[in-house]
Chains A and B, each alone.
Chain A
Amino acid sequence: MPALTDVRHAASAEAQVAALRRLKNELVGQGKRKETLVCDGGIDVVVDILSSSEDDDARLQATLIIATIANGGPAFVTPLLAANAPQVLLDSLAHDTPSKRVTASLQALRNIAAAWRASQQSPQQEIHTRLDLFTRHSIEVFHDLLRQSPPCSARMQHLRLITDLITLSVISDTKKAALSQSPLFEILTALLVSHTVISGLVTWQAEGVQLPPPPQASSVSHIISAICTIVEGSAYRTHRFFLSSTVRALFIGQSWNNTDERHLFSARQGFANTGEPLLPVLHIPAYGTTTYHYGSRAFPAMAALQSKHAKRGNSHYVTFDENLAPGGDMDHANAVCSWLLLLARSAAGHGRLVALRLLALVNNSVDAMDSSDAIVGGHRTEYTQKNRERKKQIAVLGVPLAAKMVQIANESKMAEGSSSAQHADDVLVKEQACDVLALLIRDFDELQIAAVDAGAIKHVCPLLKKTFDPVPLAKPMWSARTAGTGKPADLPLTRQLGSRGLPSEILHAMRCRQSALQALAALAEKEDIHRKAIVEAGVVPCIFDALKPFPSDYAETLAKNRGQVVGPKDGNTTAVLLAACRAAKTMSRSVSLLRTSLIDAGIAKPVFQLLHHTDPEVQLAATDVCINLLLEFSPMREDLIAEGVVKTLADHARRSEPALRVSSLWALKHLVSSSPKEIKVKTIEELGTGWLVGVIRGEHLQQRGHGEVAGGGVSVAGLSTPNAAGEQVDLLNPSSTGMDVDDPDDDQGYDEEEEVVNDDEDGEVMYDELSSTHYQASQLRSTIQQAPSAFNSKRYLSSVREIEQNPSLRARQDDVAVQEQALDFIRNLLNGEDCAGMFDYLLQHIGSAKIFELLTEKLVRVIDAGSSTSARPVYGPSALIISTVNILTHIANALPRHKQLLIAQKPLLQAWLPHFSHPDRKVRVACVWAINSLTWIDDDSDRRDARARAQELRSCGIETAVRQLIGDGDLDVKERAKTAVRQFEQL
């Protein structure tokens, strides 16, 4: 290129600037010339000028050239990164840089980030390069830019560009965490607050808190979108956002009379702080008059009774800090949600979507913390009421808005004639509307119903179908020469074009598809009616098609014949695969669909293939689908076994990722339930008995050096809560479906009705994300000496972080989940016709001493009374105890000699005894069931032995314990205990 030669050989600074300017004008809008420039080594030249030239004009022109090169797309990312362009640009943002060049540098960085982002979605793995724009130093620079520069149009542009940089380039959790701790995050939050104040939504009454000058109205959506990017994926970071000092000051600054008037912002008052309510006022009946009310504030002692019914089970042992309102400051959280709703209602297009997204994130994080402290106290009712008000408000005002956005996305024509600005907004709405809806309603059945009422299924399904329409690719510019394909490989990286990645049209279709599938997964999560409606809309084949990955050389094939129409079924990006797996998972929770439309669609085969996908996340998602597909009533089970699913799952189970391990064991657990003996034996051989024993003992955890049992430090906090962890898993544990229930011969069938609090009528919720397994952090909290007066946001934040991020706590949680699945695996192994045979198999391969030692281990106390921080003896998580006792039941159900073997285990019986008075009713029920089986008389020959067994139980105190349970408050326990006592007496 002549202009490039001129730049290289410029005689004077002026000549160089002129040549650079000419080069720039030649490049803008000319993709082909940009390619030539790269191959000619132009990037090195330009970056060199940028980093070493003295002349300000030359550097400005060089910056602009980099900006326009980056607009060329993903192919230019590799050479630009190889030339270290981002770092050079960041360095040029120093204090004394003229504002114009700062703008240009930010612009160039933004363009690079955009191209990089597009390259990340390519099916090829090798081009997934790292882009690190937010280092400790650069965050400071960005912060200075936003803080210092005077409020003029340049500053506004800087703000927009920096927020875009965050949205585009921040993906990893560590970066997000670093940003959330930075002053940059604070200033973004403050700008949003400032905007709210200037638009008159809230009167600012906090004295002493300085707000930055308000941003332009058009920047608000950029700011919110950057905040969303930072907080997404962590309840702690979200809490950091809405508990930040400026957001708190927005609602709490009543300086003249010091009264808390935040209830004015709530759903019932409709954001009425400036007089007229700004949101529709909702009438939500108080809990006090409904059956949900289990206690009364006038009788705090009743709280103990309520706890039995609390969402996550009991909390008798839990000593909690009265001063710490459960779940944080609910008034504030509600005010924040109302505020975000208001922002969403006052914006349009993409701006509205991002506000809704932030609303969803805040609501989800408040809820996550709510369920992780199922701590109940005198404030419980008021607290629950406020929680309910918030959800109601979102159901009535937020979800329909999101559904409306989906409708707009579905109906928008994207006319070619519309201006490019409008077009860009339409594209974003189309890509994100479904995703926002999904985020809003996931995990909340109430909101899912609201979404369907607002017509969500009607609009999501056509949107999904449309993404399978053939995509006409934009034709490349015509050129007289055909592009030279053979490029020498020995050129430096800065002179080689990277992979083109997928064309933007396909990426757009992929993003739409992914977001529509997310919405389907969320809609189908709880309600069977929704699933049926989705099937009727005819999108099941779409889910099937979305389970197919791109061939790895897809981008190249496309590049060869650009200008063609791309077929709809060529494949999918990883993000789409994940979303499709999620949709398949929730859809397959319906037994009837599993047997009809899902089998018709042939969903099993692609899912099985995805088990072998290279991406571990996809493997996990596919395993999660398998959990449902491998149930005993699933028609796909045989096919999957024939394909060799046993071996794959066993391999996955032995891998180190805890989530994959849990899911694989879970799937195997379903697989062995009521299956023929050969399959059971094959599975356990595949897993290896030694390995299984190791997992149950938690050896894997100790190897990694996390949380020594009964050791000091925080792991005690995790352990010392008797019902720590496993509660949530337990909640959706399919013991009502996957385990014993369908076996007519098994007299141990559980009553389903009370089994699962949150279950469907047909009880088919089988798995839920383990992402929010919960610990009761009571010990954690009691170490925090709370000032008795007001809510302390700092301390609350730190406890939120502990719950979410403490590594040993998390390792414990993961381990408990794995152990539970492993124990349940054994339980299902023993269940059914060949119970005795299977137990013999285990005896033979593990050895009876070892088996009982293992079971005893799970039942004994972890910490002895008085020996540690806790005053009471502390046992393992109740989920593990339940699983263990259930295994005992099955052993007791095998042959008489097995019963005898069990009764001979003195230490086991000793360890078992305290659990008859376990606070969790599910543990007590399981215990009594086991006794029922132990005292059962098989035939006449067994009568003598049975009497001996009863004698043994009496002597170790178990009979007395059972007799005491006749007076148990829980009906199920009571009735089982009656049976047991009758059997004792018949002997």
Chain B
Amino acid sequence: MAPVKVYAPNMSTAAARVLLCLEEVGAEYEQVPINFATGEHKSPAHLARNPFGQVPALEDGDLMLFESRAIGRYVLRKFKSPGADLLHEDNLAESAMVNVWLEVEAQQYDKVMSLIFYQLIVIPVFYGGKTDEKVVAENLEKLCKVLDVYEARLSKSKYLAGDFLSFADISHIPLTHFFMSSPHASVFDARPHVKAWWESLASRPSYKKVTAAMSSK
């Protein structure tokens, strides 16, 4: 079986979501860098992979996919093994819970976290601009409300979808990784179950390997 190809720059947090899945299931993959600085993501070659000109895209034989969470599901399903089942699709109720918390991640968590990430990392590092602290403060307040829901949930189960690790947990890793090296990481410390959950994710070999490859520089 030929390795799958992931098209994205090293730093892409959405691509990291896919790489984490590939690492968790032990699938072979190649990374093909896409250079944003030269506008490669809007080139005809890349638009053929992702018509929205976004990253990542994944190539598996004749199949070309985009949208990191859809790619993640495909990878986790294809390379699933008894020791690496992050979707629990053999159990209707469990897989439904995975899907609920994946939607929460995309609709509640990511929306707020990505605005914070944009202010704290993208603007200063990529545009040499200044962080808008008011936007950060507004979104931190929203994030804390979301984390309060997570705290309540994680006081009842070890992971978000239940007592089993799933894609719903893994999907949170890329943006949270950057957030945790910011001065605002203390909002996690104030919530013991959320903190323990994060530390569990951050201790995984997939986390260490994928985040080492991402750089905030």
A binds B: no
